[in-house]
Structure 1
Amino acid sequence: MPEVIFNGPAGRIEGRYHHNKTPNAPVALVLHPHPQFGGTMNNSVTLALFQTFLERGFSVMRFNFRGVGRSQGTFDSGIGELSDAASALDWLQAQNPDAGQCWIGGFSFGAWIAMQVLMRRPEIEGFISVAPQANMYDFSFLAPCPSSGLILNGGADQVAPQADVQKLVERLKTQKGITIEHLTIESANHFFEKQLNELVDTVGGYLDKRLAQAPEKG
């Protein structure tokens, strides 16, 4: 997978990028979990999301937030990481100016950052939010949620408990014209350690459905 280095607000950012040569191929950005708890772009869930987008014809990128791997800078409690993600999306779009769709995905801390990017970038048409920590992070900025997407969590997740995710989903579902699909893999923990294949199948099925509904863009 080609390595890319691009400039971010705190210095160089390290990423991995797969380019789809099909004209108007959709683009997707995938965000990893918390840097201070071992989160990197090579996290297994992050990799699974990346691969699922790749297999469906996306030009897709994952990257290390500031201070992780070869990315410069230091952890900034989500504020700087949001800027990193915005820079990554700028880079991705510059490589794909004719992209038919723009998506964002994130896992845990990355899901929180991804949803903030979603609020700031109206071109994002869909999202995949895996195990958002609605018990720990404030998602009240999603008022209203601008795009339809999938929220996926594990039924045995003690880091992002099911009850808190459900409250978030119920709040988002009240918004007109937006469809939030909420799916639970019952036996999965926060890291989906024994259910990665099920996660891939679930996310892939959702993407297949949304891509089939998308109008042709020429």
Structure 2
Amino acid sequence: MPEIIFNGPEGRLEGRYSHARQPNAPIALILHPHPKQGGTMNNKVVYTLYHTFARRGFSVMRFNFRGVGRSQGVFDNGQGELSDAASALDWMQALNTNSQECWVAGFSFGAWIAMQLLMRRPEISGFVSVAPPAGSHDFTFLAPCPSSGIIVHGEKDTVVPEPAVAKLAHKLSQQKNITVDYSVIPGANHFFADHLPLLAGEVDRYLGRVVVPGPDSGPSAGQ
């Protein structure tokens, strides 16, 4: 079922879903960048993350926040988008009742929403945060950060300064009982233009190290 429509807090939400062949496969939700800056579920970084998780044997979803594409509603400055993400996770969990592991990933604004969802949903066991907007958005709610994960940033990012993200990663890595990796992609800008394969490789290596892959790492459906 590659194209899906599910109910959100303010109406129908549009998404893409790839269901893994393994019955108890882990699940992953991918969140897109700022809707007011052209962010959609078809963003190249989001698309890359989606397929990276799928190749690792996850059942994975990406979707449009309210007011984007065919998703109903209007932009809500983050609060409503967090509710949208929670509804998307509910939908995935209802379809994957035997899944033992749940991940969340996001790019830029989507990374900010993803980390808030992580704080509210104790079943989330890991995260991938790409170019989190640490210079412009408040991340102090991560106290403490409940799960391990990886933060990936572009060395040449002029939208989100690398030092701000490095500071966030360092702060999180000092917390007990979790491990937060930090990876800087040399030469990459905020959108990882010409560096998407390097981004995919970094995330794939991390997932391969911390997640036990199923016997079939390929998805059964999804684009």
TM-score, normalised via structure 2 length: 0.94
Query: What CA distance in whole angstroms lies between the structure 2 residues aligned with 1:170 and 1:34?
Result: 25
1:1-218 map, 5 Å: 2-212=2-212
Q: CA deviation at 1:100?
A: 2.0
* Secondary structure at 1:91 match in 2: helix
User: What fraction of aligned residue pairs are identical, expressed as a percent?
Assistant: 63
One-letter identity of the residue aligned with 1:130: V
Cα distance per residue 1:31-86 (max 9 Å; x no partner): 00000000000000000000000001100000000000000000000010000000
Q: CA deviation at 1:213?
A: 9.6
Q: Considering Cα pairs closer than 8 Å and 6+ residues apart, tell me whether 1 or 2 has the greater RCO.
A: 2
Query: What CA distance in whole angstroms lies between the structure 2 residues aligned with 1:174 and 1:58?
Result: 29
Query: What CA distance in whole angstroms lies between the structure 2 residues aligned with 1:172 and 1:126?
Result: 14
Query: What CA distance in whole angstroms lies between the structure 2 residues aligned with 1:68 and 1:148?
Result: 30
Query: What CA distance in whole angstroms lies between the structure 2 residues aligned with 1:68 and 1:212?
Result: 34
Q: CA deviation at 1:194?
A: 0.8
TM-score, normalised via structure 1 length: 0.96
Query: What CA distance in whole angstroms lies between the structure 1 residues aligned with 2:201 and 2:174?
Result: 27
* Secondary structure at 2:12 match in 1: strand
Q: How many residues align?
A: 214
One-letter identity of the residue aligned with 2:105: G
One-letter identity of the residue aligned with 1:181: D
CA RMSD in angstroms, aligned pairs only: 1.2
Query: What CA distance in whole angstroms lies between the structure 2 residues aligned with 1:200 and 1:213?
Result: 16
One-letter identity of the residue aligned with 2:76: D
User: Which aligned runs of 4 or more in structure 1 are off by greater than 2 angstroms?
Assistant: none
Q: CA deviation at 1:137?
A: 0.4
